[in-house]
Amino acid sequence: MPADGRYAFLVEWLDPQAQLLRQYMLFYYTVDRTIEMDDVKNRRKFLRRCEFPTITFEDLYVGGTVSVYSRELNIVDYGDEFTKSAIEKKSERTLGLIKPDAFLKVGKIVDAIYKDGFRVAQLRTLQLTRRDAMEFYAEHEGKPFYPALTEFMSSGPIVAMELVADGAIQKWRKLIGPTNTFTAQKEAPSSLRALFGTDGTRNACHGSDSTASADRELGFFFGSPSRFPSTARFNNCTLAVIKPHAVKNGHAGAILDGIIEDGFEISALQLFNMTRTNASEFLEVYKGVLPEYSKLAEELSNGPCFALEVRSENAVQALRELIGPHDPELARVLRPTTLRAQFGVDKVMNAIHCTDLPEDGQLEVEYFFRILQNN
Ligand SMILES: Nc1ncnc2c1ncn2[C@@H]1O[C@H](COP(=O)(O)OP(=O)(O)OP(=O)(O)O)[C@@H](O)[C@H]1O
């Protein structure tokens, strides 16, 4: 937790009725976890200081989104120097990779990442070509392990992540452990490389070693989104979306792991920050059908979510079995081992969206992995 104080953020809200971009100063008081908002243009109080449990200090960073009474507020800047320096100090960025040998451990690794207090700002699956791997590891060119390393790194899908925390670079290197898996097993047996690595080269994870390399490496993976095509296959598939409340409560890793352990293939995975407009468009079919339609759209745009292309035989039906009834209360009584029974709260915060109808599996995957990803 940061030093007690009043933290200020400049936020913007697109007023759909007036088609105006409205600006507010949002204040967060750490001492009693209350918020307050001023209208910037009219210099008037917009929201009196009040408790607002759905917004936590961790949700407040430039580029983030918070929802206040159904208004989706984009945080565009810090409101003062005190806030800027306090937040930037705890916002170091690093590149984390899950290498091909640990791809199936993505759930366990994501779980460890959240438990260690990181924020995941970006995450996506991708497949490196041999040439990509050679470029990424160019500093090792000429070393005896270089051919095996680049061959290994392009041998299957990997997960690239932008991880944010106070001292993220060292924190992540500590979590992954020593480079060599066997050394890690001796010296840091609970580290990710000790648990999930294979040998000296196939060592489960990568982490940047300095701010300069973090900048370069984040640019390599996230600088131009079209550089790495989606790993989605768009066949025999269904869509699952781990909802923002479940991500915020640290359940994303356990849900991913539950899906993998049940024998499904996760062929594409990406973190998205959905706008309210996108969420409403995606859920349009439920308009007039589910009374909670607009709350569902609000929840889906309430923070980062994880979208997954999941593949298996009869993918849509099979995944629905694992995820369970729409209403988690019902799920806890009827199907207590399902994912919604374990991680859902109510009909809106029911942990996971999954495709309903077999004919919609591919379409829903396309919405995230073709339309949104290329936006
Ligand atoms: N002596 C070695 N024998 C085999 N493979 C090695 C050796 N040294 C490094 N590697 C491989 O090359 C990668 C890059 O090496 P580097 O020295 O940069 O290690 P690191 O910084 O701990 O790992 P990374 O850069 O992947 O986080 C290692 O993660 C490992 O996969």
From CA 188, how far away is CA 175, in angstroms rounded? 9
247 and 294, same domain (yes or no): yes
Burial 166-186 (b: 16+ CB within 10 A, else e): eebbebbbebbbbebbebbbe
Residue 131 domain boundaries: 98-113+126-156+170-222
The predicted structure's pLDDT at residue 138: 97
Q: What CATH number is attached to the domain comprising 78? A: 2.30.29.170
Give the relative orientation of helices 315-323 and 252-261 as an angle to the nearest 10 degrees: 130
292 and 325, same domain (yes or no): yes
What is the predicted ipTM? 0.94
206 and 273, same domain (yes or no): no
pLDDT tens digits along 81-125: 999 998 888 889 999 999 999 999 999 999 999 999 999 999 999
Q: What CATH number is attached to the domain comprising 302? A: 3.30.70.141
- Both structure tokens of 334: 């009827």
Confidence class for position 304, pLDDT limits 50, 70, 90: very high
Q: Which of 140, 206, 251, 326 is catalytic?
A: 206
Residues 6+ apart with CB under 8 A from 173: 207, 209
Q: Is the CB of 133 under 6 A from ligand 1?
A: no
85 and 103, same domain (yes or no): no
Residue at 165 is within a domain: no
Our separate counts of H helices and E strands in the chain read: 16, 14
The predicted structure's pLDDT at residue 353: 97
54 and 25, same domain (yes or no): yes
149 and 174, same domain (yes or no): yes
pLDDT tens digits along 207-246: 999 999 999 999 999 998 889 999 999 999 999 999 999 9
- Both structure tokens of 61: 């960073």
152 and 277, same domain (yes or no): no
Q: How many domains are there within the chain?
A: 3
Which ligand 1 atom is the nearest neighbour of the CA of 139? 18
Radius of gyration of the chain (CA): 21
303 and 340, same domain (yes or no): yes
The predicted structure's pLDDT at residue 288: 85
Q: Is 353 a catalytic residue?
A: yes
Closest CA to 78 of 58, 93, 102, 62: 62
Asked if residue 356 lies in contact with residue 325, where contact means CB atoms within 8 angstroms, the answer is no
59 and 39, same domain (yes or no): yes
Q: Is 206 a catalytic residue?
A: yes
Closest CA to 221 of 239, 210, 240, 208: 208
Which residue has the CA at smallest separation from atom 13 of ligand 1?
201
DSSP 8-state class, residue 371: I
pTM for the whole structure: 0.91
Confidence class for position 177, pLDDT limits 50, 70, 90: very high
Residue at 227 is within a domain: no
Mean pLDDT score of the chain:
95
Q: Are strands 92-98 and 158-165 parallel, antiparallel or unpaired?
A: antiparallel
Q: Is the CB of 150 under 6 A from ligand 1?
A: no
Q: Is the CB of 200 under 6 A from ligand 1?
A: yes
More confident residue, 3 or 301: 301
211 and 333, same domain (yes or no): no
27 and 82, same domain (yes or no): yes
354 and 247, same domain (yes or no): yes
